[in-house]
Structure 1
Amino acid sequence: MKKIHLVLIVLLYTFFSANSFAAELSEVKGKITDASTQEPLAGATVYISDLKAVTTTNSNGEFTLKNIPSKGRFLMEVRFIGYKTYSKMVDLATINTLNVPMEPSVIESAEVVITGSPFSSNNKTNSLSVVTVGKDKLAQAGGTNLVDAISRIPGVSQVSTGGAISKPTIRGLGYNRVLTMVDGAREEAQQWGDEHGIEVDQFSAARVEILKGPASLLYGSDALGGVINIIDDLVPPPGVFNGDFTTSYSTNNGLSASSLMLQGNDNGFVYRGRASYKNAYGFGYKNTTVPNSGFNEFNLNGMVGLNKSWGYSHLTFSRFHTNIGLVEDGPNEQGNFLNENGEVITKSEAQERRLGLPFQNINHYRAALNSNFILGNGQLKTTFAFQRNMRKEFEESATEPGLNLNLNSYTYDVKYYFPNAGKWEPAIGVQGMYQKNVNKGDEFLIPDYNSNNIGAFAYLKRNFEKGAINIGARYDYKKINGEDLSIDGEQVFNRFDNKFSNISGSIGFAYEVAKNLVLKGNAGSGFRAPNIAELAANGRHEGTFRYEIGNSKLKQETSLQFDLGLEYTAKSVTFGLNAYANRIFNYIYPGNFNKETKELTNEAGEIEILPVYRFVQTKADLIGGEASMDFHLVKSLHFENSFAYVRGINRSDDSPLPFIPAASINNELRFEPGIKGLDGTYIKVGVSNVLKQARFDSFETQTDGYTLLDAGIGTSIKTGKGKLNLWVTGQNLLDKKYYNHLSRYKPAGIYNTGRNVTFGINIPFM
């Protein structure tokens, strides 16, 4: 089956490449002005995302987009600080000059979203709930990793293991129910594990788009809860070569993080290279440093490609490498951490940057070829990717790993967008993945296995003057085979051959019921096949404080979700309101039932008793909503507020579902004085209120509520090379001791991170 897939990929790519280079060369010129004064706006950014085409206006407000097709309909965007983002669908066959009057705005207009629909669209015609976080906000968040930086978006949470590992949760669903997209391809990195974070260089993200709700129609299995799409920067205009250097330091864990990027565009030949490094010792709280919770990370990534009149083709490649310390034991009754000899570990010892045992060593290699071929008035978008994830865990020896997992993943995604006149927008697609996992260590948690899945979908969007409706359907088939394993006569894994298939669909609408007031609604089904750990795990995974046992008889999860949203955007106030109800059939979760335990003996002859967690299924409901409101009663003063709540119900006995985040209320007051020559200057103060989580499963415990105080200050200085950005972000400034309900260290009595202040600078050059 894998060979058939590869042959089809090569034939498709060769055929469409050969037929695409005949496209005619074209360009679009225009002028960007202030709508009120008619003054030209110099430095405005103009781009078409679907073509990877970008340029900026000169001192007269004029621009030229080169090397673009002479046919096709594309969404063009214009952005300029202090002005409302302009977006318009343009037909390149009928337009070669475009004059854009920009309207001044005190609100931060939402960016155009791409993830939620096959066709690029703005919020007024996109029915799904999508939130976009830009590069500046990601940096100013002061997160230790990318998921940490977006974890306060309403509806988004993180399953954390100290400062190094964060797993995204959307509306109460995480792990293999949330799909992470990188370089246009789904990330495959053993994400079933509690202590397996996403393996992406956070500096490479120009923006992150978060799709809330089932996205199985567009992405297949594992997008049942939502999608996190990590998008790299557009390349510079033709003839431009530039770069930047970013560095930051955080006081809590001594995290030093730096990244150097260079990129250029030589008449359509585009390229980019980036190197990043991070190093941190253990995180701390209230004069306590957690030993062996530090990490180091070294990443390399690059891109080469062509931006031509026939479209674009980009080859991206990356190597993500990290070492992460794992904490096995919590503090004693006096709050002290002890070494193996029972001696108190001092703060200076805990702050050493040398990792002790146990620790993880992870290498993740990724190569992806992303292309968009313009075929007449239609488009063919393709993504072919290969990933190799090598995950080692060192427990008794720093040179010989106990657990050693090697996972190879081949993915493909082919979509065709039919020619359209802007009213009816049809698209079809086919996606697939082949995986093979091999154990190379002397410890085993999951078996050797291979899996193969393929899916196809059809999508149709109908645009109206004041909105749009969309409908789609999809079929998926997945096969997964686990290998038999016995050691010294003891059966560790039994062979299994499982097959899963599903038909899913969705329908949605967006309608402007009044000026600036948009109503959105969706009904969609989701699908997820059980992951390998749920089917076959049999062992203790370092850092989880439990022994896991899988169940090869598990059925696939399916869901049906309804959500309704209302968005209002006016001159001085914006608000959004979303409510949803999600019923999941055959919901899979691990539980410690009847207080089952298992005794393990280490090489030193010591006996450790661990709780046994078995994977079971039930019918589940997740009901909740998010609300946000942003006041701009004074031009320079922003008051942003948000609320998120989700309630998980086990329908078998109406008990709470496990691992559900607590309700949260976030408030931020942001002052932007508008200092001439210092665009982007801000001072902010934020308060995060996380309510008590009193709904928990029998093997969990209640988590008390808490309030955290944050603050930040930053500015941008104009230079001949671009904007030099400076920022300082303070988190948990009152040094509050607290547990997050989703912290994997909570059962061990280890608090979340205390006071942390991050200093950062971004320097452009060339």
Structure 2
Amino acid sequence: MNKIRLLMVVLFACFTIPVLATELTEVIGKVTDATTNEPLSGATIYISDLKTTTTTNANGEFTFRNIPAKGKFLVEVRYVGYKTTSKQVDLAANNQLTFALEQSVIESAEVVITGTPYSSNNKTNSLAVVSVNREKLAQAAGTNIIDAIAKLPGISQVTTGGAISKPSIRGLGYNRVLTIVDGAREEAQQWGDEHGVEVDQFSANRIEVLKGPASLLYGSDALGGVINIIDDLVPAPGEFNGNFTTSYGTNNGLTASSLMLQCNTDGFVYRGRVSYKNAYGFSYKDHTVPNSGFNETNFSGMLGLNKTWGYAHLSLSRFNTNVGLVENGPNANGDYEDENGAVITNSEAQTRKLDLPFQNINHYRAALNSNILLGGGQLKTTLAFQRNIRKEFEESATEPGLNLGLNSYTYDVKYSFANAGVWEPTIGVQGMHQTNVNSGDEFLIPDYVSDNIGAFAYLKRNFDKGALNAGIRYDYKNIDGDDLIADGNQVFTAFNNKFSNVSGSIGFAFEIAKNLNLKGNAGSGFRAPNIAELGANGRHEGTFRYEIGNSNLKQETSLQFDLGLEYSAEKVTVGLNAYSNRIYNYIYPGNFNNETHPFLEEDGSTTTLPLYRYVQTDAELLGGEASIDFHLVKALHFENTFAYVKGTNLASSTALPFIPAASLNNELRFEPTIKGLKDSFIKVGLTNVFKQNRFDSFETETNGYTLLDAGVGTSVKVKNGKINLWITGQNLTDKLYYNHLSRYKPAGIYNAGRNVSFGISVPLL
């Protein structure tokens, strides 16, 4: 603990030294139409590695101030109706930049930050990455941030009603998917079924999803992939702006609003955001699920410096949510009953006041991010502290039964050496120290202390038509679980486990013909067992099972091969991805031989629950994703995606549990040109989910279904930006269906029915 705190202090001191020797540097440029050479006004220019942005004036000109006088950075330019372009720029040799954009009905892939230490565009990244911007996230009308990306190919979610969704990438979820917030890995008891991603969805300017093992750059828990939630880049110097967004959903009465203000005063940058969400129980057909509502309040702020030596940003946030927990499904008539057997009416279920049981979660996060130009290279660091307090209230609204307090200290230090844009070498070290304490009178996991550290080396070789990359990493983790005797019973037995692993990755990306890109990657992954898998002994409120851990579990390792082909022409884009993922010592909970366990309730009664034990097997996941977008008419877009994954238990040649069904998504989008309006659209979509008839012995088959979605929206240009308005509808036919990964399916609770969402986003100042 003291060593980690000392490291934070020393690194922070190092970051502040360059502030004493700053000098103003300007880079100017111009953006034009490649065909007519006419200037483009309102184009946006980004330098992601410096967290800075600017826009062009009426003459197509732009200026970057307070940026380094030297160094190579990827500069990205976007403009509606034109192909996004990006290129490596040596600021020492180019203080005047020019970009000629080509008109296109298809906007090329955005810059990918997740995959490599240096920012790079998708054409030189060997990993499979998809990206969603803020506008698409808002129009998805998800009740949480994971719902908003769940239609991306290869992405699905483990749902607990409308409040909680856990991401699954290519059939892997829980601690196999790492979420990055404010540049730091989120640590928030994410091993649990009913533990969602604890971040303000309004804070996401863009979400990048890396599909496949990312252990090389992120260590344990990135075996399945990474979800990188990226906040806003700071405004240009001298700008003070903000935004207010609000929406309403008819299914569960969800009201969601967020206010943001930010400013850049000669390189001193700051941002503040406050958000609030409130919903009553979700509904399907003529039934509202009692006590499935939630409320959420978020505060966040950022202070930082953007100077010629780089940047340093301190982000602070508090995430608070209260979530109702559903204990029972409907009766034989489909109605919900209270504890006395009386039917709960829909009007009673639509109260916004939560009943018992419910959970209260507070997640505090402080993260210091910096990129310091040092010795011709870049020193990127993220130091973070997170405190997660999770309380579950059963018999009393003031005295929690389960009360978990988790403290996490994380550090991530990478140095990318000076390069000529050809060789890009990077070394790094990452680590974490965690302590968990039980403060309630119920227990599920033991108190524990955990430490892990990892070091890696990464090298990328750029060519005119692509790139090669390779890397190697070593990880070590130690976890100590405490002994606990309560009321004369042995609840937990102490254990000490150590895990270590060497992992690596090699990949390529090349333009084999005009507009045709081929990419491939072979990588190994690593995941140490989480605390629940090692030491669980109990039941969560809101789950329908009793869990027992296994302290003898081995670490998971994987070997995945990924091959992708992308074609991007003027009016059509095609993407194909195939992968094979072999996981050794795959860990999963199972209910074997219908084993049950008695559970003593607070009132003295005994409930019999199915008993789930954590076991291991070798496993294989095979699958792929395909997408094809037609834009034969400029204003008309026909977008289609397909995803499939097959999970096999190699010991028994049977299906792995918790594997999502194959899905096909189709969307027809019309974008008319309307005088006085911008970015207008009308869309109709179908979500086709196929029958899941491959399931483990303790699961059941899930029928296929088709959902109809639609939406309409537009923007009104105003002096300081544009006002966005939209109306979107989900499951418009009010289809009764179960998602195979829904935790409410075993209780006979359907997924949400028809929902219509109304939204508006207004620029401020």
**What TM-score bracket applies, with the shorter chain setting the length?**
over 0.9
Please tell me whether residue 528 in structure 1 is matched to residue 527 in structure 2: yes
**AA at the equivalent of 1:249:** Y
Task: Check conservation: 1:23, 1:70, Cα contact below 8 A.
Answer: no
**Residue 563 of structure 1 corresponds to which residue in structure 2?**
562
Return the offset for 1:19: 5.0
Q: Deviations over 1:658-691 (max 9, x none)?
A: 0000000000000001223311100000001000
Indicate the SS of the match to 2:234. coil
Cα distance in structure 2, aligned partners of 1:67 and 1:480: 45
Cα distance in structure 2, aligned partners of 1:423 and 1:62: 29
**Residue 670 of structure 1 corresponds to which residue in structure 2?**
669
**Residue 711 of structure 2 corresponds to which residue in structure 1?**
712
**AA at the equivalent of 1:83:** Y
**Residue 194 of structure 1 corresponds to which residue in structure 2?**
193
**Residue 622 of structure 2 corresponds to which residue in structure 1?**
623
Task: Check conservation: 1:648, 1:657, Cα contact below 8 A.
Answer: yes
**Residue 465 of structure 1 corresponds to which residue in structure 2?**
464
Cα distance in structure 2, aligned partners of 1:378 and 1:256: 46
Task: Check conservation: 1:129, 1:211, Cα contact below 8 A.
Answer: yes
**Residue 406 of structure 2 corresponds to which residue in structure 1?**
407
Cα distance in structure 1, aligned partners of 2:68 and 2:684: 47
**Residue 693 of structure 2 corresponds to which residue in structure 1?**
694
Indicate the SS of the match to 2:291. coil
Cα distance in structure 2, aligned partners of 1:250 and 1:479: 46
Cα distance in structure 2, aligned partners of 1:401 and 1:282: 22
Return the offset for 1:10: 2.6
Indicate the SS of the match to 1:272. strand
**Residue 511 of structure 2 corresponds to which residue in structure 1?**
512
**Residue 212 of structure 2 corresponds to which residue in structure 1?**
213
**Residue 368 of structure 2 corresponds to which residue in structure 1?**
369
Task: Check conservation: 2:685, 2:708, Cα contact below 8 A.
Answer: yes
Cα distance in structure 2, aligned partners of 1:464 and 1:325: 54
Cα distance in structure 2, aligned partners of 1:600 and 1:481: 27
Q: Deviations over 1:413-443 (max 9, x none)?
A: 0000100001110000000000000000000
Q: Deviations over 1:683-725 (max 9, x none)?
A: 0000010000000000000000000000000001100121100
**AA at the equivalent of 1:566:** L
Q: Deviations over 1:374-414 (max 9, x none)?
A: 11421100000000000000011111100000000000000
Cα distance in structure 2, aligned partners of 1:99 and 1:168: 41
Indicate the SS of the match to 1:159. strand
Aligned pairs (5 A) from 1:43-54: 43-54=42-53
**Residue 5 of structure 1 corresponds to which residue in structure 2?**
4
Return the offset for 1:606: 2.5
Cα distance in structure 1, aligned partners of 2:535 and 2:202: 36
Q: Deviations over 1:549-604 (max 9, x none)?
A: 00000000000000100001100000100000000000000000111101123232
Task: Check conservation: 1:20, 1:373, Cα contact below 8 A.
Answer: no
Q: Deviations over 1:17-62 (max 9, x none)?
A: 4257546532111111111222211111112111112111111111
**AA at the equivalent of 1:78:** V
**AA at the equivalent of 1:232:** D
Return the offset for 1:605: 3.0
Distance 1:15 1:584, change over 3 A: same
Please tell me whether residue 389 in structure 1 is matched to residue 388 in structure 2: yes
**Residue 323 of structure 1 corresponds to which residue in structure 2?**
322
**AA at the equivalent of 1:654:** S
**Residue 174 of structure 1 corresponds to which residue in structure 2?**
173
**Residue 446 of structure 1 corresponds to which residue in structure 2?**
445
Cα distance in structure 2, aligned partners of 1:535 and 1:428: 32
**AA at the equivalent of 1:648:** G
Return the offset for 1:7: 2.1
Return the offset for 1:127: 0.6
Cα distance in structure 2, aligned partners of 1:631 and 1:614: 48
Return the offset for 1:310: 0.5
**Residue 158 of structure 1 corresponds to which residue in structure 2?**
157
Indicate the SS of the match to 1:15. helix
**AA at the equivalent of 1:422:** G
Indicate the SS of the match to 2:67. strand
Q: Deviations over 1:175-234 (max 9, x none)?
A: 000000000000000000000000000000000000000000000000000000000001
**AA at the equivalent of 1:91:** D
**AA at the equivalent of 1:142:** A
TM-score normalised per structure 1 = 0.99
Aligned pairs (5 A) from 1:297-696: 297-696=296-695
Indicate the SS of the match to 2:471. strand
Indicate the SS of the match to 1:69. coil
Q: Deviations over 1:99-124 (max 9, x none)?
A: 21111110132101010111111111
Cα distance in structure 2, aligned partners of 1:751 and 1:576: 33
Distance 1:19 1:726, change over 3 A: closer
Q: Structure 1: which 5+ runs fail to align?
A: none
Indicate the SS of the match to 2:136. helix
Cα distance in structure 2, aligned partners of 1:498 and 1:49: 40
Task: Check conservation: 2:22, 2:307, Cα contact below 8 A.
Answer: no
Task: Check conservation: 1:17, 1:373, Cα contact below 8 A.
Answer: no
Task: Check conservation: 2:394, 2:400, Cα contact below 8 A.
Answer: yes
**AA at the equivalent of 1:327:** V
Task: Check conservation: 2:18, 2:309, Cα contact below 8 A.
Answer: no
**Residue 270 of structure 1 corresponds to which residue in structure 2?**
269
TM-score normalised per structure 2 = 0.99
**Residue 290 of structure 2 corresponds to which residue in structure 1?**
291
Task: Check conservation: 1:179, 1:186, Cα contact below 8 A.
Answer: yes
Please tell me whether residue 37 in structure 1 is matched to residue 52 in structure 2: no
Return the offset for 1:75: 0.3
Cα distance in structure 1, aligned partners of 2:9 and 2:368: 12
Cα distance in structure 1, aligned partners of 2:653 and 2:610: 24
Cα distance in structure 1, aligned partners of 2:390 and 2:12: 32
**AA at the equivalent of 1:267:** D
Cα distance in structure 1, aligned partners of 2:538 and 2:466: 52
**Residue 78 of structure 2 corresponds to which residue in structure 1?**
79
**AA at the equivalent of 2:733:** L
Task: Check conservation: 1:20, 1:374, Cα contact below 8 A.
Answer: no
Cα distance in structure 1, aligned partners of 2:3 and 2:314: 23
Cα distance in structure 2, aligned partners of 1:588 and 1:107: 42
Distance 1:9 1:655, change over 3 A: same
Task: Check conservation: 2:321, 2:362, Cα contact below 8 A.
Answer: yes
Cα distance in structure 1, aligned partners of 2:434 and 2:263: 35
Indicate the SS of the match to 2:25. strand
Cα distance in structure 1, aligned partners of 2:248 and 2:4: 46
Indicate the SS of the match to 1:68. coil
**AA at the equivalent of 1:562:** F
Cα distance in structure 2, aligned partners of 1:475 and 1:17: 30
Higher mean C-alpha displacement, 606-615 vs 165-174:
606-615
Indicate the SS of the match to 1:681. strand
Task: Check conservation: 2:23, 2:66, Cα contact below 8 A.
Answer: no
Task: Check conservation: 1:72, 1:376, Cα contact below 8 A.
Answer: no
- Runs in 1 of length 4+ with deviation above 3 angstroms? 19-25
Cα distance in structure 1, aligned partners of 2:691 and 2:477: 40
Q: Deviations over 1:420-478 (max 9, x none)?
A: 00111000000000000000000000000010000000000001111100000000000
The number of aligned residues is 765
Cα distance in structure 2, aligned partners of 1:221 and 1:345: 45
Task: Check conservation: 1:71, 1:376, Cα contact below 8 A.
Answer: no
Cα distance in structure 2, aligned partners of 1:16 and 1:393: 41
**Residue 725 of structure 2 corresponds to which residue in structure 1?**
726
Indicate the SS of the match to 2:49. helix
Task: Check conservation: 1:21, 1:310, Cα contact below 8 A.
Answer: no
Return the offset for 1:9: 3.3
Cα distance in structure 2, aligned partners of 1:94 and 1:28: 11
Indicate the SS of the match to 1:343. coil
Cα distance in structure 1, aligned partners of 2:64 and 2:2: 41
